[in-house]
Amino acid sequence: MQPFLPFTRPSIDEQTIQEVADVLRGGWLASGPKVKAFEAALSEYCGGRPVRTQTSATASLEHALLVCGIGPGDEVIVPAMSFVASANVVVRTGARPVFVDVDLETRNINLDQAEAALTARTRAIMPVHLCGLPADLDRVYRLAERHRLRVIEDAAQAIGSSYRGRRIGSFGDLVCLSFHPNKNITSIEGGAVVGGSPEEVHELELHRFHGQSRISADECETHFAGGKANLSDVAACVGLGQLRQLEAFNARRRELAARYFELWGEDAPLTLPARGDAGHNWHMFAARLPLARLRISRLEFIEAMAVRGIGIGVHYPAMHLFSAYRALGYREGQFPNAERIGRETVTLPLFPAMRMEDVERVVGAVNEVLREATR
């Protein structure tokens, strides 16, 4: 029997494991030299822009909003299709997320709807590079410039992606990255904000450690009631090891994605994701099931694939349909593309350690399950 194939799995090399052991033996486990080294390496990767890490991309997004001065009474434009953190962080600042729909194929923000949703209270727009496919940043930044908005890019899934030949994070306003275990590189848990003025970078440092700064060896100051989201040296050590391999990881992801397209050609029994261009990092391979033609539900499809030893993810439900956002007045039918993606999406296995034979196994299993389930 073949081993179970998950939809994703991180690849940690032996050199990184040894380096983590060295950190553990060294006795400095909280934020220290490894965090500084990781931030410096990320800065170099992002063209020399400032980088400050946090313990999660959720914290990164929240802190980015806070340094932009966003709070009660403000509005932030957010696509209805993303992981719920994209909206939760807006609510946590006291502002209101204003949802707009997404394109059905790219799953990225519909900028016509975004512009129509602007009000006098709109302070920022949050494009999400879903599955690693960059949003239309030329239009995003033109819109932001016309209406004097801040742009907070939710690039949690887009490290290593590029837009028109420019690496995500190497330009723009504030760009937030994720190093969760299912991302293209991991630091176990972690995130980062790229960009910002010197004053904003300093404020990011305050937000991640109690609003506190060190004055001298025996004196500190607390400027505001900040939280705690400083990355550990153990996490940063893992991140450094992963960053060394990012380009190779992404190259492999592109090869695997290309194999999916090659095997299915024009006859795929489900709707394949938008291909994008060579700048796509292929964080996820998220397709859509033709549920109207099937005798089974999405859950039954996932269960049938699990019986065949293959893990399937769901990324993501439409955010406005969660009870937390229905309570804000959102309702079913407002954003039909996001809702359809939320109903139909299935995330197929894609991670660097996969073999081409694994892709063939997934394609064969999907074909078999959907052939048997077609009305």
Q: Clarify whether residues 75 and 124 are in a common domain.
A: yes
- Asked if residue 3 belongs to a domain, the reply is no
Q: Clarify whether residues 236 and 98 are in a common domain.
A: yes
The one-letter amino acid code at 232 reads S
Per-residue pLDDT at 105: 97
Q: Clarify whether residues 142 and 289 are in a common domain.
A: no
d(CA 307, CA 1): 11
Query: Which residue range(s) make up the domain with 46?
Result: 14-243
> Could you tell me the pTM of the whole model?
0.97
- Asked if residue 49 belongs to a domain, the reply is yes
- Asked if residue 220 belongs to a domain, the reply is yes
Per-residue pLDDT of the chain (375 residues; tens, 9 = 90+): 799 999 999 999 999 999 999 999 998 899 999 999 999 999 999 999 999 999 999 999 999 999 999 999 999 999 999 999 999 999 999 999 999 999 999 999 999 999 999 999 999 999 999 999 999 999 999 999 999 999 999 999 999 999 999 999 999 999 999 999 999 999 999 999 999 999 999 999 999 999 999 999 999 999 999 999 999 999 999 999 999 999 999 999 999 999 999 999 999 999 999 999 999 999 999 999 999 999 999 999 999 999 999 999 999 999 999 999 999 999 999 999 999 999 999 999 999 999 999 999 999 999 999 999 997
Active site positions, annotated:
183
CATH number of residue 273's parent domain = 3.90.1150.10
Q: For the chain, what is the domain count?
A: 2
Q: Clarify whether residues 252 and 337 are in a common domain.
A: yes
